[in-house]
Amino acid sequence: MGANNTLAGLDRDQLNECLELYDIETYLFDQVSKRFEDDGTLEPFDFFAIVVWKSNRAKTKVKKGLEKAGKSVSELMTEVSQADSLKDKVEILWDIEGIGLSIASAILTVCYPEEFTVLDYRAWEVLTEAAVHGLPTRSSWHPEDYLQYCEVCRRLADQMNLSLRDLDRAVWAKSWRDDLRELVQGSKT
């Protein structure tokens, strides 16, 4: 490593690598998604980057769930990529302790962004308040409910001339914006 690449204990190449990770969503959808498409599996770093993106607090439970199931990340994700149906893909992930539908949805969204979308309470609430037709009830989520949710979102995205990923971002941001507006309007600043 040349002297011009390191300054005060910081390595320029490492900093550039970390800079790519700063915008985690771009990293996940530009790099991780492409690697999964090419390789049919994920490395542990990329898998847990998705888990942390969706729910940082769940990473240890997911790791323990994989250990309990006796599966590596690569083995699990190879099973997902080789599954015959979308439902099978969901169920393979859902069967791992610590991976609920919410985290499974994030993993599947990164790996299959045209088929799956993130299951998130903010997006769900926006779609429910908008009375979007066909949404499953939220009382007890199962893989079939999530697949129905994805189908409704794909249809809505098509009607709105948006990608499935952009629809998810937009409805999440609408919820976030509305919450912030409510906070600001309720304050004296």
Q: Is the pLDDT of residue 27 over 60?
A: yes
**58: containing domain:** 11-113
Alpha-carbon distances, residue 156 vs 52, 111, 131, 166 (angstroms): 28, 21, 12, 11
- What pLDDT digit, counting tens, does each position of 64-93 carry? 999 999 999 999 999 999 999 999 999 999
Same domain membership, residue 80 and residue 150: no
Residue at 179 is within a domain? yes
CA distance 43 to 77: 9
Per-residue pLDDT, 19 = 86
Of the chain, the percentage scoring pLDDT greater than 70 comes to 93
Region 171-185 average pLDDT: 93
Same domain membership, residue 159 and residue 95: no
Split into its structural domains, the chain has a count of 2
Kindly report which listed range (31-35, 105-109, 133-137) carries the lowest average pLDDT score. 133-137
**Is the CB of residue 165 less than 8 Å from the CB of residue 113?**
yes
Per-residue pLDDT, 4 = 64
Q: Which distant-in-sequence residues (6+ apart) come within 8 Å of 125 by Cβ?
A: 175
Q: Is the pLDDT of residue 189 over 50?
A: no
